[in-house]
Amino acid sequence: MTAENESRNGRDGYDGRTGADALLAAITGEPLPDDARADAAFMAEHRSAAADVALLREQLGLIGQALTEPPAEAKAPEPVPLRRPSRVRRRAFTLAFGTLAVAAVASVVAGLGWLVSQGGDGLASGGSADEASSKQAGADFGSPRYLACARLVVEGDVTAVVPVPGTAQERITLRVTRFYQPDKSDDEEVTFAMEEGVVHQGEHVLVGVPQHAAAPDLWAVGEKDIAVERAWITASLSEARKLTCE
Amino acid sequence: MRAVLALGGVPQADLLDGVQQVRLRLLERAANGQEAPRDVSAWAAVVASNLAMDWHRAKKRQERIGERLASLRQLEHPSGEDTSLLSLAVAQGLDELPDAQRQVLVLRFYADLPVRGIAEELGIPEGTVKSRLHTAVRALRARLHEDEVV
CATH assignment of the domain containing B42: 1.10.10.10
Q: Stretch B55-60: mean pLDDT, rounded?
A: 69
- Return residues 42-61 of B near A (CB < 8 Å): none
State whether the Cα torsion A77-A243-A208-A30 is positive or negative.
negative
pLDDT band at B145 (very low <50, low <70, confident <90, very high): confident
Distances (CA, A) of A101 to A2, A96, A105, A196, B32: 19, 9, 11, 21, 46
pTM for the model stands at: 0.51
* pLDDT surpassing 70 at residue B77: no
CB proximity A59 to B under 8 Å: yes
Contact between chains at A246 and B1 (C-beta distance less than 8 A): yes
Contact between chains at B109 and A57 (C-beta distance less than 8 A): yes
Close Cβ partners of B60 (under 8 Å, ≥ 6 residues apart)? none
Q: Stretch B46-57: mean pLDDT, rounded?
A: 86
* pLDDT surpassing 90 at residue B100: yes
Contact between chains at A63 and B87 (C-beta distance less than 8 A): yes
For residue A194, the cross-strand partners are: A170
In b/e form, how buried is each residue of A1-36, taking b as 16+ CB within 10 angstroms?
Answer: bbeebeeeeeeeebeeebbbbbbbbbbbbbebeeeb
pLDDT score, position A80: 47
In the sheet that holds A189-195, the strands lie side by side as: A189-195, A169-181, A150-164, A204-210, A218-221
Q: Kindly state the greatest CA–CA separation across chain A.
A: 53
pLDDT score, position A113: 34
Minimum distance, in Å, between the CA of residue A26 and any CA atom of chain B: 10
CB proximity A103 to B under 8 Å: yes
Say what angle helices B40-58 and B99-109 make with each other, to 10 degrees: 160
pLDDT score, position A197: 79
Residue numbers of the domain that contains B11: 2-147
From the list B76, B140, B141, which residue is nearest A99 (CB)?
A: B76
pLDDT score, position A134: 29
Close Cβ partners of A163 (under 8 Å, ≥ 6 residues apart)? A169, A170, A171, A196
From the list A12, A60, A72, which residue is nearest B106 (CB)?
A: A60
Q: Calculate the average pLDDT of chain B.
A: 83
pLDDT score, position A218: 82
CB proximity B64 to A under 8 Å: no
pLDDT band at B149 (very low <50, low <70, confident <90, very high): low
Chain B interface, mutation test: which of A30, A48, A56, A167, most B Cβ atoms within 10 Å? A56
What span, in angstroms and rounded, lies between the C-alpha atoms of B4 and A46?
27
Q: Supply the ipTM of this predicted assembly.
A: 0.79
Distances (CA, A) of B9 to A63, A190, B6, B58, B123: 12, 31, 5, 12, 22
For residue A193, the cross-strand partners are: A171
Q: Where are the beta strands (DSSP E) in chain A?
A: 150-164, 169-181, 189-195, 204-210, 218-221
Amino acid, res. A203: E
Contact between chains at B40 and A1 (C-beta distance less than 8 A): no
Residues of chain A with C-beta less than 8 angstroms from the C-beta of B114: 28-29, 186
Q: Which of A114-123, B22-31, B140-149 has the lowest mean pLDDT?
A: A114-123
pLDDT score, position B138: 94
pLDDT score, position B32: 78
Minimum distance, in Å, between the CA of residue B32 and any CA atom of chain A: 23
CB A147 within 8 A of CB A181: yes
Domain total for chain B? 1
* pLDDT surpassing 90 at residue B16: no
CB proximity A143 to B under 8 Å: no
pLDDT score, position B110: 94
Domain A140-241 CATH class label: mainly beta
pLDDT under 50: residue ranges of chain A: 2-15, 73-139
Contact between chains at B83 and A101 (C-beta distance less than 8 A): yes
- Return residues 1-30 of B near A (CB < 8 Å): 1-4, 6-7, 12, 15
